[in-house]
Amino acid sequence: MERRDFFRNSGRWLILAGMALTTGLLVVNRRVQHGPACTIAENCRNCGRWESCGEPQAKNQRENG
């Protein structure tokens, strides 16, 4: 393996690792941190945790359609 190939392959693997790390962080951070009142989304249906959320406004929207 030549020096040029080594750097090219290293760069490719570094980009791939960065993409995997970014994807993992986006998936992990998708969880909503609930406080006294959820202010993440104006409409609960836009929230990633709408179906399993325990906030009163989410429960109302699930019950009322």
Alpha carbon distance 60, 16 (integer Å): 42
C-alpha triplet 39, 43, 49: angle, nearest 5°: 75
Domain ranges across the chain: 1-30, 34-65
pLDDT single digits (tens) 5-63? 999 999 999 999 999 999 988 877 766 555 555 666 667 777 777 777 877 888 887 88
* Under 8 Å between Cβ of 59 and 44: no
Alpha carbon distance 3, 42 (integer Å): 54
What pLDDT, on a 0 to 100 scale, did the predictor assign at position 22?
93
What pLDDT, on a 0 to 100 scale, did the predictor assign at position 31?
60
Alpha carbon distance 40, 7 (integer Å): 43
What pLDDT, on a 0 to 100 scale, did the predictor assign at position 39?
65
What pLDDT, on a 0 to 100 scale, did the predictor assign at position 6?
96
